Structure 1
Amino acid sequence: MSETVNSPAAPGDGGEPRSAAPGVSRRGLLARSGAVGLGAAGVALLPGVVTGAQAEPSTAAGSAPATSASGSPALPAFDPLRPPAVPLAVRSPYLSTWMTADVPAGHWPSFWTGRVTAMTGIAVIDGQNYLFLGAPGVPNHPLSRGLVQRSLTLTATRSRFELEGGGVRLTLTFLSPVEPGDLRRQSMPLSYLFAEVRSLDGKAHDVALYFDISGEWAHGNSGTKIQWAQEQVPASGAGPSLTSLSFTPASPQVLSENGDTASWGTVVWSAANQDGLTWQIGADTDVRPAALSNGKLGNTVDTAQPRAINDRWPVFAFHFDLGSVRNAPRTAALSVGHVREPAVSYLGAQLPPLWKSYWSSWQDMVGYFHADADGARSRTDSLDRRIQRDATAAGGAKYAALCALSLRQAYGATELVSRNGKPWAFLKEISSDGNVSSVDVTYPTIPVFLYTDPEYLRLLLEPLLDYPENGGWPKEFAEHDLGSSYPNASGHNDGNEEDMPVEESANMLLMTAAYLARTDAATAKAFATDHYAILRQWSDYLVANALDPGYQNQTDDFTGFIAHSANLALKGILAIGAMAQVATAVGNAADATRYRATAKDYIGQWVAKAQDTTPDHLKLAYDQPGTWSLKYNGYPDALLGLGLVPAEVAQEEADWYLTQVNQYGIPLDPRHSYTKGDWEMWTAAWLRGHAVSQVLIDTLYDFATATPTRVPFSDWYDTVSGTQSGFQARPVVGGIFALLSLGK
């Protein structure tokens, strides 16, 4: 991790100037078309629609919509919380599109960085145009009406908007599946969009839906030339045939990024064929007016290619003429994906995405994805219900809301690849350093995998263990990451990296022990045996260095290096205890006894060294009396059942934390008012049963639902103001599942 933070563009304003025609900006086109105001400000003028700072967050998870004097909702309802950014298509490090506003009309979706990834939605109801997604300009078709958002429902895998207007209801569902235990389905870098329309007033209404996405999905620089194609994808099994519109950089830079976006690969935008479906690829100022004027698209491909993304802004459009709609719903099914080959490199070798082990082409995969839509909805609905049920039991409704917000973000920073026919998983350190599989970013994420799919954690651990065992890592302690810049796991054979010796060695041991405890005994023994030599090496390093760490960096590196850190020492001591469990798994009783005895001896010394003279809490560092810090590293003691931290020490820490609560949480330590949400939930899990656990949950919920910083869920924020301190869209929000990970 690093202090480097990407600053997002202002949400919804389109970022850089985006020319719709030579000399005419997008804003200029909006003005000329009479649609000025359908940006962040103007949507507030639409009936019943409220945006940005005007929207009051719901006061509790699942609260009912506010009502006006007329009885109609004055504000959209948010269930179970108003997210800081709504996940739309969040499936991989490069398929990560969000809505950074309360309502989709009048705001462009954006990549996690804030760069626009435009998506447009317009409904035509009985001849009247209604905007419901994006902030487009359409020459000669002023979009002065918008569908009214009644509610936004967020589950772990989907975001569902309920919109009304013209006598109909449109339900717009963005589903990014998470498929625990199913590598084939989890490997697909694809996301669904379902639209369902029905009459609200019992009358028949003629309805059409228009969708498009822009070339901005293909590259981080809108001056980049792209090329495109249309093709018909045959039906897969009992599924529908598809129309797929795809586009890719004309000169791909393989295994390179621009603005955290892949500079190679293909964006695939597909619709299930049905009566009334038409499509078109062309300039936005040609395609959108054609749909609204003609009630259909031309089924044509613009031949002026390749050309720059910002050269007459090519869009990829579908128009669904749904005909007369009454009470029975009419539907449209779409998907969007980003496919790349190779996916990553590892020590110079290019690795294919795992999905290539199951399908020979993206066309076959997309066909399967659509054929599997009903099954995906059923499976993810079961997962959503399970998470809501278990999280509510573990921490209440607000905790369940936080888990729902976090799942897609956590999984979406990872992807599955094949290495010599064997599945591996890699993780991108999103928004901080961009490293490949940073150990201290993987570590705080693990609770989500321990709860949903422990074998997925094993796939993340495999390359992290392979590199020091076989790849040329030169140091006695564990590496910080597998490569400085995703997607290239080029290693650090020269030893030049962001060393965190105690931190990363302990993290690797604790992650391994957590995995071993959640797989069967035979698998645990085989895994531990295969990697015992390197795990033992790191354990011995900790025996020599963990009790009183020297001047070292650690995971919260934005706070700086620290010597004699009580929290870092705690992690190292617990990791020695974890090594006793690893030794037990392989049947090495002597090692198990030795490491357990060392951990017990060290924890007694640690309590004496860390105890403040007051004496009602533990210090930040042994040599800093009068200080304190959030001892989130106590969580592995509960997770692994080590029983090392004395109960009275945990009790006094919990009591102390209750005296340090700010509006939106408890600071990491007294040097700053900021905190990290993942560590707060680790602390809540460690101190479960104490009142501070619920306080930590409630205040993190308050931050998530009230923060004015509209970015994908930030884990680093200020507990006084509720604003982002840095980081966004990072997988570490998987740490919010810490309470759930304690269950069997």
Structure 2
Amino acid sequence: MTDPRTARAPATPLIVHDPFMSVWSHTDELTQSWPTHWTGKNQSMSGMVHIDGKAYRFMGLVTRTGRDVPAMRQTGREVTPLRTIYRFEADGVELALSFTTPVFPEDLELMARPVSYVDIEVSSKDGANHEVSAYIDWSTNWATGNGETDVIWGRHRAGNVEALFVGAREQTPLHQSGDEVQIDWGYLYTSAEPGVAVDSAFGDARTLRDTFATTGSIPARDDVREARPLPMPSHGHRGLNINANGIHQERPAYNVCAWSRAFGKVGTQAQAFRLLVAYDQVYALEYFHRRLRPFWSRKGQSAIGLVEQAWAERSALYARVADYDAALIDQLQRSGGDTYARIGILAFRQCLGGHALVEDLDGKLLYFSKENSSNGCLGTVDLTYPSAPFFLHYNPALLEAQMRPICAYAMGGRWPFPYAPHDVGQFPLANGQVYGGGELTEHNQMPYEESGNMLILAAALAERTNDDRFITEFWPLWEKWAAYLVKSGIDPENQLCTDDFAGHLPHNANLSLKAIIGIGAYGLLCRRLGKNEEAERHLAIARDWAAKWPGLADDGSAFRLAFDKAGSWSQKYNLIWDRILGLGLFPADIARKEMTAYKTRQDRYGLPLDSREHYTKLDWLVWTACLTNNQADFEALIAPVATWLDDAPARVPLSDWYDTQTGKQTVPGGFRSRPVVGGTYIKLMLDSMGK
């Protein structure tokens, strides 16, 4: 059996907090490439160790014109929901490098804290004492994705806590939005454990790295450059150089925040070099033209105060992380086996890292997803829908915080249509829908999709929290969106669904399921508020349509993709909410009939989404695997995903859309690092609910 912690991953999470602070390794060995932003653009870290006068790399490549430093031998890599650990060996010394990110979704103060801990531990493997020192640096391309941008740097202190910072000289927070963009405002902070003797410097990367490789130490100054002192401000970096293998190398003349520690003689007892990295965005989001600060700084906390607090709480957090990881991996394995645990481990930080949390001026929580590698939309309803199982399971307040901006927008007078919006902007600017026709036309809207999504999620949220205040606050919307579905009928017109990459489709059977369940969900909301006549009317409509649906969709051995397309088929993932909400609209034999057909249609890497193409969606695949509430069925549909994780040729953060025959991303660039992978937690959620 494969240990889910050590199994191959298409990409390995290193430091993942939100769409701007999201750094990964895209190679099996940490010395085969530079760490990168989820987009694939460098956000470099270099790690070296000096052993008995000889230098080795344990992270990153060699600067193109710098000294050739050989790589340590990587002996292990372990990924858990909250940690990533690498192990290396050279010249009788073992080195462990760990990245710890205590993002507990139940604890918003910690989840929203943009701080990760980085630990380097060294010990003798051969029993002899060795003279050892270690080095790590962070490039200025963490703080600005644009080459040639001038940066400034300095230090902050709070007692014995000290941090280096760097950021663009001209600060223009929130001045741009987009999809595959890096942040170029705010400040990167790095810090070493208070009270421990270390060296730190800011300066030219090649000079600092070559000096350490030669001497095992770095200069004790902050204007390091080979020929003459570094001016303030200075260029941050000068872009990329890509080698013949497509690996991003670094051009010379760029700058880093560097730290080193001389351990002296190291024996069999491990010695540690402890650091942390943090990011102050200054402003995190714009919400209808109001600039909002990051959640952690909403009450005025300073960046050095954040670093100080993170150091003070480190020991307690490490114990909590260890317990949390062990318990969650055990739960995932018991729920769905080793393959499901592999998926859950990789999905955890990625789901949270695709969102940003802020607090509105009235104290209400707002939690925004980013549609990474698609179009950069912010607060997308059909991202909230697939990721909802994660938040329903861990912290429903975060689901409400995702729904609130959509509801406030739809109630605010600007949204002109009788159905739910698709989004509220493009990250990080939440100033109104940008997808499709926006607010201007009905072209390329998703009326069935988003209205059904919002009604289903509203009912699930109310059931999970047993709190009707959010439902009551936005009651006119639930009425309006339910009325739209009822008026539109059981048979959808030619329109987009969430799988918009497949294009418009009339008579979509799976979309019809969503409308039926959405109307039933509205009936549940009415019942909660004592609107019994309205509840029974809508539940009766849902039951009537559910009884008609099989006749419209039946194709013999299974049910069709579209009512009018004989011989077609599709995953009916929306059906799962009938069970989650306890509506009981559809008999169990519908899911069983579908499952029997699914098992005959699997490719090497999984079940295709439908009969049109050989591609699948990972989130929907896990939902579909849960339809019959049968463990053997679940494992049968999930098993090919392990093969895909082993073989996936695209080295990107967990993709949710890939070819089931080749394992490749479906289009160049493809989907990657999207928060929808939180939907894979639906099995764990169902088990915890006893459904």
- Look up the match of 2:382: 440
Shift of 1:372: 1.5
What's the offset of the Cα at 1:257?
A: 4.5
Say yes or no: does 1:393 pair with 2:334: yes
Give the corresponding residue for 1:502.
Answer: 448
Who is 2:636 aligned against? Answer: 695
* Aligned residue type for 1:727: F
Residues 103 and 112 of structure 2 are in contact (CA less than 8 Å); yes or no, is this contact kept in structure 1?
no
Deviation at 1:80, TM superposition (A): 4.0
Give the match for residue 164 of structure 2.
245
Q: Which residue of 1 aligns with 2:510?
A: 567
* Pairing 1:14-163 to 2, within 5 Å after superposition: 60-62=1-3, 79-137=5-63, 141-144=67-70, 146-163=71-88
Q: Residues of 2 paired with 1:323 and 1:233: CA distance?
A: 28
State the alpha-carbon separation in 1 of the partners of residues 162 and 156 from structure 2.
Answer: 6
Q: 2:396 aligns with which of 444, 454, 478?
A: 454
Once the two structures are TM-superposed, the CA of residue 164 in structure 1 deviates from its matched residue by 1.6
Q: CA deviation at 1:456?
A: 1.5
Q: Quote the Cα distance in structure 2 between the aligned partners of 1:198 and 1:698.
A: 39
- Give how far 1:103 is off: 0.7
Give the CA deviation at 1:359: 4.8
- Secondary structure at the residue paired with 1:686? coil
- In 2: Cα distance, 1:442 partner to 1:168 partner: 47
Matched with 1:515 is 461
Is the contact between residue 657 and residue 692 of structure 1 (CA under 8 Å) also seen in structure 2? Answer: no
Aligned-partner Cα distance in 2 for 1:495–1:506 = 22
Superimposed CA distance per residue, residues 532-568 of structure 1 (whole angstroms, 9 cap, x where no aligned partner): 2211211111112251110111100000001000000
Q: Name which of 390, 406, 418 aligns with 2:347.
A: 406
1:632 corresponds in structure 2 to 573
Letter of the 2:389 counterpart: P
Whether the aligned pair in 2 keeps the contact of 1:354 and 1:423 (CA below 8 Å) is no
Q: Report what 1:307 is aligned to.
A: 234
| SS of match in other structure, 2:423 | coil
- Paired with 2:325 and 2:289, the residues of 1 have a C-alpha distance of 39
Give the distance between the partners of 2:413 and 2:216, measured in 1 at CA. Answer: 59
Matched, 1:472 2:399: no
Query: How far, CA to CA, are the matches of 1:545 and 1:365 in structure 2?
Result: 52
User: Secondary structure of the residue that 1:262 maps to in structure 2?
Assistant: coil
Contact 2:86 2:96 in 1 (8 A): yes
How far 1:86 sits from its partner (Å)?
0.3
Q: Which residue of 2 aligns with 1:13?
A: none
One-letter amino acid of the counterpart of residue 437, structure 1: G
Q: CA RMSD in A?
A: 1.8
Structure 2 Cα separation of the partners of residues 546 and 111 of structure 1: 45
> What is the letter of the counterpart of residue 538 of structure 1?
W
- The match for 1:15 is none
Aligned CA distance change for structure 1 residues 80 and 598 (closer, same or farther; 3 Å): farther
Q: How far off is 1:191 after superposition?
A: 1.6
- In structure 1, the gaps of 5 or more residues are 1-59, 63-77, 235-240
Give the whole-Å Cα distance in 1 for the aligned partners of 2:195 and 2:131.
Answer: 16
Q: CA deviation at 1:501?
A: 0.0
Scaled by the length of structure 2, the TM-score of the pair is 0.92
| Cα distance in 1 between the residues matched to 2:627 and 2:323 | 28
Pairing partner for 1:207 from 119, 132, 150: 132
State the AA in 1 paired with 2:370: K
Amino acid at match of 2:599: L
Q: Deviations along 1:293-337, whole A, 9 cap, x unmatched?
A: 343222311241323223510111000112222232211222222
1: CA distance between counterparts of 2:628 and 2:656? 20
- Residue of structure 2 aligned with 1:718, choices 618, 636, 659: 659
Of the three residues 723, 737, 740, the one matched with 2:681 is 737
Amino acid in the other structure paired with 1:250: R
Counterparts of 2:671 and 2:402, CA distance in 1:
22
Per the alignment, do residues 515 and 127 of structure 1 end up closer, same or farther by CA in structure 2, a change over 3 Å counting?
Answer: same
1:298 aligns with one of 179, 194, 219: 219
- Aligned match of 1:173: 98
**Partner Cα separation in structure 2 for residue 511 and residue 140 of structure 1:** 55
Equivalent pair of 2:69/2:213 in contact (CA under 8 Å) = no
- Between the aligned partners of 1:120 and 1:471, the Cα distance in structure 2 is 51
Offset at residue 263 of structure 1 (A) = 2.7
Q: Secondary structure of the equivalent of 1:324?
A: strand
Alpha-carbon displacement from aligned partner over 1:581-624 (angstroms, at most 9, x marks no partner): 22222222222212211111111111110111xx1100010110
Q: Residue in 2 aligned with 1:682?
A: 623
- Map of 1:253-332 to 2, 5 A cutoff? 253-255=172-174, 256-257=176-177, 259-302=180-223, 303-310=230-237, 312-332=253-273
CA, structure 1 residues 477+140, in 2 after alignment: closer, same or farther (shift >3 Å)? closer
SS at match of 1:392: helix
Q: Distance in 2 between matches of 1:716 and 1:204?
A: 51
Per mean C-alpha deviation after superposition, the further-off stretch among 285-294 and 155-164 is 285-294
State percent identity of aligned pairs.
Answer: 35
Q: Is the 8 A contact 1:714 1:728 kept in 2?
A: yes
Q: Is 1:527 matched up with 2:473?
A: no
CA contact (8 A) 1:204 1:324 kept: yes
- Does the CA-based 8 Å contact 2:55-2:214 persist in structure 1? no
Show the counterpart of 2:151: 226
C-alpha separation in 1, matches of 2:196 and 2:311: 17
- Unaligned runs of 5+ residues in structure 2 are 224-229, 239-252
CA distance 1:370–1:573, shift in 2 (3 Å): same
Q: Pick closer, same or farther for the CA change 1:383–1:358 going to 2, 3 Å.
A: farther
Trace 1:356-395 onto structure 2 (pairs within 5 A).
Answer: 356-395=297-336
1: CA distance, partners of 2:109 / 2:681 = 24
**Letter of the aligned partner of 1:465 in structure 2?**
C
Give the number of equivalent residue pairs. 657
Residue 231 of structure 1 deviates from its aligned partner by: 2.8
Q: CA deviation at 1:673?
A: 0.4
The corresponding residue for 1:576 is 519
Pairwise CA distance, 1:387: 1.9
Q: 1:192 aligns with which of 101, 113, 117?
A: 117
Change (3 A) 1:356 1:471: farther
Does the residue aligned with 1:317 lie in a helix, a strand or coil? strand
Q: TM-score with structure 1 length normalisation?
A: 0.86
Selected match of 2:369 from 427, 451, 462: 427
Q: In the aligned structure 2, how far is the partner of 1:271 from the partner of 1:474?
A: 53
| Aligned counterparts of 1:540 and 1:713: Cα–Cα separation in 2 | 38
Name the counterpart of 2:672: 728
What is the identity, as a one-letter code, of the residue corresponding to 1:586?
Answer: L
What SS does the aligned partner of 1:518 have?
Answer: helix
Letter in 2 for 1:285: R
